[in-house]
Amino acid sequence: MGIIEKMRLDGKKGFVTGAARGIGKCTATAFAEAGADVAIVDLDIEVAQQTAKEIAEATGRKVIAIKCDVTSEEDVQSMVDTVVKELGGLDFCHANAGICINAPADQMTYQQWLKNMDVNINSVFLTDTIAGRYMLAHGGGSIINTASMSGHIVNVPQPQCAYNASKAAVMQLTKSLAVEWAKRNVRVNSISPGYIGTELVLAAPHLKALIDQWNAMAPMGRLGKPEELESICVYLAGDTASFTTGSDFVIDGAFTCF
């Protein structure tokens, strides 16, 4: 069997949070293209259902949509239970849901701080530990968290201290869980994308000036594409990554190299 065949995900079951659109939609599509059955998890159930339909029709895999508030322990537990019941198991997950609140620290409200932390780190803890319990009890699995290059650097010119702190926390949570579960066959890794040109980012008028500044600073002179995150996630979800755990993969076009 060649390396391409070894990297396929045939027979595996998983879910992606924040998967109705953007990065999550792309990675969910890639998982299905590699042979996995996938759940599209999102608060926006109408868009999630359309995304699930599109991926199922394009790949022939079983793809379902689940509405879930990832900051709710009850919702996340129910979502994982549904994935196991509807797909027949859980081999991998991608905790991808997140938000970014841009506000100067001296003007940011405590409620803004708490909302950012609730979605970006508390939800990852809930997703990882609830999915992890199932994996630990059923022979193992792979967990992928979306961190950010913002956990490595302080972005400019936009002020986003809460986002930066939350993404650094995601990386440390990833490493901590990886060490705890290393001997129990549950691998935990994170990806740290740079600036990615999702549909929402490219369509936002208020971001155009920022995008021009980011591109001027970027060694490659452009934003990344969501599709450029797919291959690393397929690798991490599969068996060829059996010795890869506790790692953070920076995919940023060399933005953090200086």
Q: Would you list the DSSP string of the chain? A: --HHHHT--TT-EEEEET-SSHHHHHHHHHHHHTT-EEEEEES-HHHHHHHHHHHHHHH-S-EEEEE--TT-HHHHHHHHHHHHHHHS---EEEE---------TTT--HHHHHHHHIIIIIHHHHHHHHHHHHHHHTT-EEEEEE--GGGTS--SSS--HHHHHHHHHHHHHHHHHHHHHGGGTEEEEEEEE-SB--HHHHH-GGGHHHHHHHHHH-TTSS-B-GGGGHHHHHHHHSGGGTT--S-EEEESTTGGG-
163 is catalytic: yes
192 is catalytic: no
Q: Which is catalytic among the residues 67, 134, 142, 163?
A: 163
Q: Which is catalytic among the residues 12, 13, 67, 167?
A: 167
Q: Which is catalytic among the residues 67, 134, 142, 148?
A: 148
78 is catalytic: no
| Catalytic sites, residue numbers | 148, 163, 167
